[in-house]
Amino acid sequence: MYAVIKTGGKQYKVVAGEKLKVEQIPADIGSELTIDQVLAVGAGDSIKFGAPLVEGATVLVKVVSHGRHDKVRIFKMRRRKHYQKRQGHRQNFTEIQIVSING
């Protein structure tokens, strides 16, 4: 069984037991959360789509860790204008593990 969930403005296809990194969620490590923004639920050939959400469908997740992604380097330059700008950014993430899908 799989589900398509929405968290942090992005959509993820998840399966029970899978780990993934999502935008930072303010929760303690080891705590369990319920994600109720489920866009689709599927098992084998049967798929149930929501309009926009599937009613009654939830995904139970466990917070594994918090961290920061690798640095993204931004470099801007205008040729012949003596202009160079260097900048970097590290985005925070929360690693979650999918415990169960209820749909």
19 falls within a domain: yes
pLDDT level of residue 3 (50, 70, 90 thresholds): very high
Q: Distance of CA 15 to CAs 1, 24, 43, 74, Å?
A: 6, 20, 10, 34
Q: Is residue 79 part of a domain?
A: no
Q: What does the longest C-alpha to C-alpha distance in the chain come to?
A: 60
What does the pLDDT average to over 34-47?
Answer: 95
Provide the number of structural domains found in the chain.
1
Dihedral angle over CA of 53, 57, 63, 68, nearest 10: -20
Cα–Cα nearest to 91, from 66, 71, 65:
71
Distance of CA 42 to the CA centre of its chain: 19
* 44-94: pLDDT as tens digits: 899 999 999 999 999 999 999 999 999 999 999 999 999 999 999 999 999
Domain that holds residue 24: 2-65+94-102
User: Which residue type occupies 76?
Assistant: K
